[in-house]
Amino acid sequence: MSEAPDDLKYSKSHEWVRMNDDGTVTVGITDHAQGLLGDLVYVEVPEPGRELEAEEACAVVESVKAASDVYAPIAGTVVQVNEDLADNPEAVNSDAYGAGWIMKLKPADDDALADLMDATEYQEFIETE
């Protein structure tokens, strides 16, 4: 079974969200998603400053099997991207919830995380998918 840390929120398109102390959120793809994709060979991150709508395709992860879009789990503005993924895309495979983060967003509103799943809901979701 894939790991789903309790301190994160999750989207139905398999992104995770961590609330940061400065009011931003860190976003990446879940352990479940990276496992389905296989070994990543390329990650395309969005441009800092880009404004995203919830569920908008904003990044691409490419594995030896397929390329897949990454969707913004919430509306917000990209404030930082993980530039290390250009040279180390496999960080998403080895540390999906740590070094494999994709971007940081400034949420468009305070209730942005309200529609996301908690870890228990996400585990139930992937078991029925």
* Residue 74 near residue 113 (C-beta atoms within 8 A): yes
Ordered by start, the domain boundaries in the chain are 9-112
Q: pLDDT value at position 1?
A: 53
Predicted local distance difference test score (pLDDT) of residue 15? 98
How far apart are the C-alpha atoms of 78 and 9, rounded to whole Å?
18
**CATH number 3.40.50.2020 given to 9-112:** no
Backbone φ and ψ of 88, nearest 5°:
-140, 60
Report pLDDT for 99.
97
pLDDT tens digit sequence for 76-88: 999 999 999 999 9
Count of CB atoms situated within 10 Å of the CB of 114: 9
User: Span 45-68, mean pLDDT?
Assistant: 96
Query: What is the pLDDT, as a whole number, of residue 44?
Result: 97
Whether the pTM exceeds 0.85: the reply is yes
Q: Which amino acid is at 125?
A: F
Check: CB of residue 116 under 8 Å from CB of residue 11: yes
The pLDDT, as a whole number, for residue 65 is: 87
Tell me if 71 sits within 8 A of 57, measured CB to CB.
yes
Query: In whole numbers, what is the pLDDT of the chain averaged over residues?
Result: 95
Looking at residue 76, its amino acid is G
